[in-house]
Amino acid sequence: MTWLNEMIDRLRYRSVPPSEDRHRMRAVANNIVLHLHPTRVPASALRFSRTWGLGGISALLSVLLIITGVLLMFRYDASIERAYPAVLAIETVIPFGSLLRGIHHWAGNLLMITVVLHMVRVFAAGGFRGERRMNWVVGLGMLVLVLIFNFTGYLLPWDQLAFWAITVGTGLLTYVPLAGQAISDFLLGGPEVAQSALRNFYALHVALLPVVLIFGLSYHFWRVRKDGGVTIPPQTEQAPKLTTIPHLVTAELGVALVTLAGLLIFAMAVPTPLEALANPAHPPNPAKAAWYFLGVQELLLHMHPLAALALAGIGLLGLAVLPLWDRDSSDEGVYFRSATGQRAGMLGATFALVLTPLLVLVDDLWLDLPALLAPISTLISNGLLPLMLTLGGLAGIYAGMRGALRARHSEALVGLFSFVMVALVVLTAVGIWFRGPNMALVWPF
């Protein structure tokens, strides 16, 4: 087998495998894929716990989605008469079609998770300040892009799940003041989810969005190098540096293989959902949005859509301006800033775990604000009031961290961030598992 290894090495490095560090470094600079890497990396940046491999896994999944997506395109037809039969044929007739669709489906869902975890990791390491602030915003853009990718892909199978999730999802848009209805009509190409909507979503999903994804990712990677690589704590003495070959490349290959193997096994074991053909006259009960929107849908059950949208918008805006909000880089690269920061994070998470389910229960079972404040418009009693209460609660948590824990600004923000993220996870979990027919609370087990 040595001849095989040698051949692969020749293909990879265009010569024999480099044995000396100097040659190894040149091999990186001369190879188009490896060129994304620096020639040498600090040893501490190579520790697995520095990145958990999350950015790399996300990049790998993106490539995998493009490959499987292009393959699916050869068998798919974006017409409301033929889309469902095409997906059915992929599932039942075409050799390995079910596996291919499974990989595309689960990779898309997994990507949603890894991108969010990647963001959490960067936040925890304080990797959004100074030079890196541009790349933090670019990364946030990629997160939104993945959301849009998943949202547009969701419609394509044209089954009941697809039809009603997109109907409900775009119904949400119509509450955006003034422009909402126009935006929804423009996206759908008409007043309801029909042929134009399918064609629009298909064009976005397989043409426009992939182009944005490829350019966006390239820029994102390029900036990581420009900004000095992965965020690590300031080094006291001259830090040892290791060559990218073999140290970084081997680690990346290892993570990639484990991810691929795990995904493959999952896609073989868990069938991809496909329900009955879309029927515009009969929504299923309950009609839920895609799982990554269920946190927002859960909010909708508790407040006026305008308030829920405003809350989501404020959260996203808060993330976007984070580099300006927290500029204290004294603890760069230390996870959760400090011991106090860690405590703030734990406290925020605990609060969210207790408070969110409690509030959901209270509002669902006992509290009926609109009825209580009857003569007042629901826009205020069910919109402005809950919105203000929520924002006030968040401000209270921040102030509590500052006071009780004597946390610095950036440590208190860790507590706030952890509260918001865990609350979002709890709301999503409630939406996925604890909402049954008529969206009433149910016990799933």
Partner 1 sequence: MAKNTPQPNQDAPAGTTVSRRDFLSLGAGALGLVGFLQTGGMALQFLAPRRVDGEFGGVVTVGSAESFPPGSVTEFPDGRFFLARASDGGFLAISRRCTHLGCAVSWHATPGQFACPCHGSHFDLRGNVENPPAPRALDTYPITVRDGVLLVDTAQAWQRDRFAPEQLVYV
Residues in contact with partner 1 by the rule CB under 8 A: 164, 167-168, 170-172, 174, 185-186, 188-192, 194-196, 200, 280-287, 300-301, 304-305, 370, 378, 437-440
Look-up: residue for tokens 């102030």?
399
C-alpha span between 389 and 385 (Å, rounded): 6
Q: Is the CB of 122 or the CB of 172 nearer to partner 1?
A: 172
Question: Does the protein bind ligand HEM through residue 144 (CB under 6 A)?
Answer: no
C-alpha span between 410 and 332 (Å, rounded): 11
352-374 burial, b if ≥16 CB within 10 A, otherwise e?
beebbbebbeeebeeeebbeeee
Q: Is the CB of 189 or the CB of 229 nearer to partner 1?
A: 189
Q: Is the CB of 100 or the CB of 308 nearer to partner 1?
A: 308
Residue 167 contact, options ligand HEM, partner 1, none, Cβ 5-8 Å cut-off depending on partner type: partner 1
The CB-based long-range contact list for 367-373 (8 Å cut-off, 24+ gap) reads none
Which residues pair with residue 159 across a beta bridge? 277
Residue 281 contact, options partner 1, ligand HEM, none, Cβ 5-8 Å cut-off depending on partner type: partner 1
Kindly state the smallest distance separating residue 146's Cβ from ligand HEM, in Å.
Answer: 5
Of 153, 169, 295, 386, the one binding ligand HEM by CB under 6 A: 153
AA identity, residue 340: T
Interface stretch with ligand HEM, choices 36-44, 126-134, 145-153, 234-242 (CB under 6 A): 145-153
Residue 156 contact, options partner 1, ligand HEM, none, Cβ 5-8 Å cut-off depending on partner type: ligand HEM
Kindly state the smallest distance separating residue 300's Cβ from ligand HEM, in Å.
Answer: 22
Residues within window 67-86 making contact with ligand HEM, judged by CB under 6 A: 69-70, 72-73, 76
Kindly state the smallest distance separating residue 438's Cβ from partner 1, in Å.
Answer: 4
Asked if 414 contacts 356 with a C-beta cutoff of 8 angstroms, the reply is no
Q: Is the CB of 52 or the CB of 291 nearer to ligand HEM?
A: 291
| Tokens coding 220 | 């994102």
Interface stretch with ligand HEM, choices 65-73, 292-300, 351-359, 420-428 (CB under 6 A): 65-73
Kindly state the smallest distance separating residue 362's Cβ from partner 1, in Å.
Answer: 17
Question: Does the protein bind ligand HEM through residue 210 (CB under 6 A)?
Answer: yes
Kindly state the smallest distance separating residue 209's Cβ from partner 1, in Å.
Answer: 15
Asked if 297 contacts 435 with a C-beta cutoff of 8 angstroms, the reply is no
Kindly state the smallest distance separating residue 379's Cβ from partner 1, in Å.
Answer: 8
Asked if 139 contacts 119 with a C-beta cutoff of 8 angstroms, the reply is yes
Kindly state the smallest distance separating residue 159's Cβ from ligand HEM, in Å.
Answer: 8
Look-up: residue for tokens 């040595």?
2
Q: Is the CB of 131 or the CB of 192 nearer to partner 1?
A: 192
Question: Does the protein bind ligand HEM through residue 55 (CB under 6 A)?
Answer: no
Residue 108 contact, options partner 1, ligand HEM, none, Cβ 5-8 Å cut-off depending on partner type: ligand HEM
Kindly state the smallest distance separating residue 166's Cβ from ligand HEM, in Å.
Answer: 11
Interface stretch with ligand HEM, choices 31-39, 113-121, 146-154, 322-330 (CB under 6 A): 146-154
Residues within window 239-298 making contact with ligand HEM, judged by CB under 6 A: 272
Region for residue 282 given its phi and psi (left: phi exceeds 0; alpha: psi -120 to 50; beta: otherwise): beta
Residues within window 98-137 making contact with ligand HEM, judged by CB under 6 A: 101, 104-105, 108, 111
Asked if 278 contacts 162 with a C-beta cutoff of 8 angstroms, the reply is yes
Q: Is the CB of 209 or the CB of 311 nearer to ligand HEM?
A: 209
Asked if 302 contacts 386 with a C-beta cutoff of 8 angstroms, the reply is yes
| Tokens coding 138 | 């670019």
Question: Does the protein bind ligand HEM through residue 87 (CB under 6 A)?
Answer: yes
Q: Is the CB of 295 or the CB of 305 nearer to partner 1?
A: 305
Residue 113 contact, options ligand HEM, partner 1, none, Cβ 5-8 Å cut-off depending on partner type: none
Q: How many residues does the chain have?
A: 445
Q: Using CB under 6 A, list all residues that contact ligand HEM.
A: 62, 65-66, 69-70, 72-73, 76, 87, 101, 104-105, 108, 111, 146, 149-150, 153-154, 156-157, 205-206, 210, 213, 272
